[in-house]
Structure 1
Amino acid sequence: MVPQLVTVRHRRHNGRWLRLYVPVVPVLLVLSPLLLLAVLAGLVACLVTKVSPVGALRGAGQLLWALPGTRIEFEQGRTAVLVSVR
């Protein structure tokens, strides 16, 4: 299942949390021209390093499908960040 929503929580210096909801599909539509350039750059990198482009694309797809349910937490001092992919 492709991720639909990414939630980012950031703890401010005063201790309150700032929560941002990022919908994945609209962001991908807006950034699609850059995504096309990234795919072309990845294809060139695969050809230069002699890696199978089909295998690299399959691996990237498997990574994308495994993202839902992922939680990433960073905390250092008074700063904390939580990223949740749904």
Structure 2
Amino acid sequence: MMPQLLTVRVKHQDHRPIRVWVPVLPAVLVLSPLVALAVLAVTVACLVYDLSVVRALSTGWRIFSALPGTIFDIEFDRTAVLVAIR
């Protein structure tokens, strides 16, 4: 299943936390020209390095569809960033 929502929360010790919700499907549709260029670049790289194009693209899709439930929590100095993919 494709991820549905990306939640980003930035907390700074002195300020109020900032939260941003990004729906994945509209973002992918807006960025679809870049996705098409990325697929083209992967295809060319696979042909140059003598790899299976279908296998590379299917592996990329499997990684993308396994993202729901992933949480990144990064803390540095007095700032924390939490990214949750649902």
The interval holding the TM-score normalised by the smaller chain is over 0.9
The number of equivalent residue pairs is 86
Deviation per CA, 1:42-82: give whole Å up to 9, x if none.
Answer: 11011111111111111111101110000011101101111
* Residue number in structure 1 paired with 2:60: 60
- Runs of 4+ in structure 1 over 4 Å off: none
Residue of structure 2 equivalent to 1:85: 85
Aligned equivalents of 1:53, 1:12: Cα separation in 2: 44
Match of 2:4 in 1: 4
TM-score, normalization by structure 1: 0.93
Q: Which runs of 5+ in 1 are unaligned?
A: none
Shift of the alpha carbon at 1:15?
Answer: 4.2
Q: Secondary structure at the match of 1:22?
A: strand
SS of the residue corresponding to residue 3 of structure 2 reads coil
Report the residue type matching 1:36 in the other structure: A
Gaps of 5+ in 2: none
Alpha-carbon shift at residue 12 of structure 1 (Å): 2.6
Report the more deviating stretch, 5-14 or 65-74.
5-14
With normalisation by structure 2, the TM-score equals: 0.93
CA RMSD of aligned residues (A): 1.1
